[in-house]
A and B are shown apart, each in its own frame.
Chain A
Amino acid sequence: MILVIGGSYQGKTEYALSTFEEARFFNQAHLFIKKRLSEGHTQAAIYDEIKATTSEGQWVIIADEIGNGVVPIDEADRAYREVAGRILIELAKDADEVYRVILGIGQRIK
């Protein structure tokens, strides 16, 4: 599995689509995490679901980095930020390669 992360509107999807032509894509993983959290799922369950979904074949998981801001006032926003961060750390450990995309430029960081 390959993980592509970066801030919003950095060209992550375009970079991933043009770089990994043969792969299957799990895009906007951060929004998937947010939705599942709002439905009451735990961090572990959400992680397991992403892993199960991407277990067959070569997958590229794409997600926004969302932790680089001021601590949100809203408790659910804080939980989302925390859980998304923790899940992405686990996915990065599992990944064969990790890329960070800034200004459309991808840097391999693992």
Chain B
Amino acid sequence: MITLVYGGSGSGKSAFAEDLVCKTNYPNRYYLATMKSFDEESEKRIKRHKSLRDGKGFITIESPIDIENAIIDKDSIVLLECMSNLVANEMFRDENPKTFTECADKILDDVKELSKKTDELVIVTNNIFEDGLSYDEGTKEYMRALGLINKTLAEISNEVYEVVVGIGIKI
């Protein structure tokens, strides 16, 4: 079973997704962290998220690429956070960036493999699509990949929530 949690930056989507996970009783709670620490700001974001998870019984697995390789025990729920970082990491992992379809295919295959290993998979993903600005071709390609992944994940998910000012709306 897959649950998709979608929202903008600072929408409270992480806290909402963690609450969803914490309402379940699986013996194993995994947190697949896709963000790589590369500067002070990302380090700060990672620390904030870690403190949010404190005491909630999560086992954190750093998984910036190839999420299907994560070692997950049975009787588990997995929170994957977040898709926007995973897409950036996968798209730009080699010298030549992947096209948006290559990137989306790879990630969607990995998600399907990962979801076979666990009872429930909760995926946090981002709404980056509503600022009305034009971007360079590289950014557009990234946006296409994330957009296609979001749309496809919504199709295969059992539940989809959009989070607005911390409030989850089932869509």
By a beta-carbon cutoff of 8 Å, the part of chain A in contact with chain B is 3, 5, 7, 65-71, 75, 78, 81-86, 88-89, 91-93, 98, 100, 109-110
Q: Which residues of B sit under 8 angstroms from A69, Cβ to Cβ?
A: 8-9, 128-133
Q: Contact between A70 and B167 (Cβ–Cβ < 8 Å)?
A: no
12 contacts between A and B (CB under 8 A): A65-B8, A65-B164, A67-B8, A67-B11, A69-B128, A70-B133, A71-B9, A75-B41, A85-B9, A89-B11, A89-B12, A92-B166
Counting from the closest, the 3 A-B pairs by CB-CB distance are: A85-B10, A69-B131, A67-B8
Q: Contact between B10 and A70 (Cβ–Cβ < 8 Å)?
A: no
Tell me which residues from 148 to 171 in chain B have a Cβ below 8 Å from any Cβ of chain A: 164-167, 169
Q: Which residues of A sit under 8 angstroms from B167, Cβ to Cβ?
A: 92, 98, 109-110
A68 to chain B, nearest CB (A): 4
Q: Contact between B165 and A70 (Cβ–Cβ < 8 Å)?
A: no
By a beta-carbon cutoff of 8 Å, the part of chain B in contact with chain A is 7-12, 41, 127-133, 135, 139, 143, 164-167, 169
Kindly report which residue of chain A lies nearest to residue B7, judged by CB atoms: A67
Kindly report which residue of chain A lies nearest to residue B15, judged by CB atoms: A89
What 18 additional pairs, Cβ within 8 angstroms, besides A65-B11, A68-B8? Answer: A5-B164, A5-B165, A67-B8, A67-B9, A67-B11, A67-B127, A69-B132, A69-B133, A70-B133, A81-B9, A81-B10, A83-B10, A86-B10, A88-B10, A89-B10, A89-B166, A98-B167, A109-B164
A65 to chain B, nearest CB (A): 7
